[in-house]
Amino acid sequence: MEKRDWRAFKLYAITAVNYHPGRSMLEVMEQAILGGVDIVQLRAKDAPKEEILADARALRALTARYGVPLIINDHIDIALEVGADGAHFGQDDLPLAEARRILGPDAIIGISTHSLEQALAAERGGADYIGVGPVYPTGTKPGRTAVTTAYVREAAAHVAIPWVAIGGITLENVDEVMAAGASRICAVSAIVGSDDPAAVCRAFRERLSAGAGGEHTEEDGAVQAAFSVIVNGRSEETSARTVEQLVETLGLAGKSLVVELDGTILAREAWAETALVNGAVLELVHFVGGG
């Protein structure tokens, strides 16, 4: 399955096997993906490296099947070995410039930040996205002082690259985080520690969509509420009114693309005039190079 533009992500999940004893990491993460997670990160700070490598290979196969980007925490060699989409580093890990040199220009590189100063430094250094947190105290970062929603507000006002609020975020407090300016969130224990990760992810996505409040159109200034369409077998929430707008929001404008809508190939000239409705089924085939 073709990957979507990762920059359009809303919900980010990280592995944490200690939160789901008796269930496999793959089982839990597949449920999270089916519930609507856009990016998956493999994080296993205390596991033996051989175990991390085996998990990375398995998770690479799973995420590739669903077209979801895979990010590896810390272990740049494992990221390269399994063909991950990128890597994530903390403030005390490999310098960003060195990570970029090793991973290459196309890799997605994320940096954890705990202050606006660190955020702006990561942005200047070429990070593709940053984590903003921990917003609340969290068991995944024991001893780390919560940055509170004050830092979320600063990030919303000053950070230009994609950023995701992280740390202790649950369905009970996500509205507060979004009210502070977050449009992307990462949850760990709330997702993987749930008995039903798919249901929790769907609930997060509903809250994120409701928080977005729709988009104003240039035509009439009305508010278009988000609705669901199926793109290449995956449910997408969108406020795009036409096929052309959907293609743009997926970052595919200008690409060599064939669009099939509800079983019918749609001429490019008709994209701008073809309305999308709730439940529409689209197949987008992107031709790369001479293929």
Catalytic residues, which ones?
Answer: 43, 112, 141
Q: Are 80 and 72 in contact (CB under 8 A)?
A: no
Question: 157: buried, middle or exposed (CB in 10 Å: 19+, 13-18, 0-12)?
Answer: exposed
Instruction: Give me the phi and psi of 195, to 5 degrees please.
Output: -70, -20
Of 24, 152, 9, 145, which is closest to residue 71 (Cα–Cα)? 9
Report the chain's terminal Cα–Cα distance, integer Å: 16
CA-to-CA dists, residue 103 to 63, 90, 113, 209, angstroms: 19, 16, 20, 33
Q: Are 158 and 150 in contact (CB under 8 A)?
A: no
Separation of alpha carbons 289 and 147, rounded Å: 45
Q: Which residues contact residue 250 at a Cβ distance below 8 angstroms, ignoring those fewer than 6 apart?
A: 4, 5, 8, 231, 236, 284
